[in-house]
Amino acid sequence: MNRDKTGVRRAVFTPVDTLARVDAVVRRLGDAIDLGLLADGEQLPGESDLAAQLGVSTVTLREALMALRQRGLVTTRRGRGGGSFVTVPDGPAENRLLARLADWSTEELRDLADHWAAVSGAAARLAARRTEPADLRQLQRSLGELMDAKDSGARSRVYGRFHVELAAAAQSARLTREEVTLQTEVGALLRLVLHDDALLADAADRHRAVISAVHDGADDRARALAEECVQTSMARLIELRLGPAGGASGPGPKEAPDGQQPPSRTRRIGAA
């Protein structure tokens, strides 16, 4: 397994936030399955080990695994050679992603957008100051692969990889780890945006502009362009979440017993 793949998988199994931990585990593992980071038929670590890696109790983990089984993403086998195994359901991934998008409130998506834009903006600014020629070649290669990608899954993976490589070009291990973790949060959902050829072309143009600014050493311009790139993609995802009644937006948050909407959860993306 290459180093990049190992780093991505390590991020999948880092501790989740202390709030709404069952939901956080379900999202983390579910997104990793849709991104292809966890393969069909792959066995998950044992309950004790997996709970420790995610920083949750075994009770929380079991609740999350139950939810994943109900979604058809995990199968549990008993007895010798048993355990929990990844199951990629039949049918279009977009249908599963739309259902998962409905689990996010618009406030959560906007918070995620702000966080991701801040990380990518900082990475781009530092990359403009520190980047090496090899880093630029890798960014250019990812841009070419993004333009050539035919399906939404490949497009979302390359899009996310570009931002990880941008952080690597900044020569910041922490920013790189944070970008990897962010991709496990949002990468799969970007398939819903990048299936459109016009939106793909726009994303490619924005990546090209970031590369140009990094190459020129224009740190402030690189930061602004990277932030705009992220915010534009996330704005389209939020528009999809808000979509027409009965459309892509899916069900809203559950009502409290008195009929009032409960307060939105506060989430911290990329907690370690």
Evaluate if pTM is beyond 0.85. Answer: no
| Contact present, 197 and 151 (Cβ < 8 Å) | no
Residue ranges of the chain assigned to CATH 1.10.10.10: 3-90
CATH class of 96-242: mainly alpha
Amino acid 249: pLDDT: 41
Residue ranges of the chain assigned to CATH 1.20.120.530: 96-242
| Contact present, 20 and 174 (Cβ < 8 Å) | no
Q: pLDDT in tens for each of the 272 residues of the chain?
A: 454 555 556 666 767 655 478 888 888 888 778 766 788 899 999 999 999 999 999 999 999 999 999 888 899 988 787 899 998 876 557 777 888 898 889 999 999 999 999 999 999 999 999 998 888 999 999 999 999 998 888 898 899 999 999 999 999 999 998 998 888 788 889 999 998 999 999 999 999 999 999 999 999 999 999 999 999 999 999 999 998 643 444 434 433 333 344 333 333 333 33
Residues 248-260 as b or e (16 or more Cβ within 10 Å = b): bbbeeeeeeeeee
Amino acid 248: pLDDT: 44
Amino acid 8: pLDDT: 57
The dihedral region occupied by 41, where left means phi > 0, alpha psi between -120 and 50, and beta the remainder, is left
Please determine, looking at this structure, whether the domain spanning 3-90 carries the CATH number 1.10.1740.10.
no
Separation in Å, CA 42 to CA 17, 60, 84, 108, 192: 25, 21, 9, 30, 25
Indicate the residue type of 77.
R
CA distance 237 to 229: 13
Helix 152-169 / helix 93-101 crossing angle, nearest 10 deg:
60
* Residues ≥6 apart with Cβ < 8 Å to 6: none
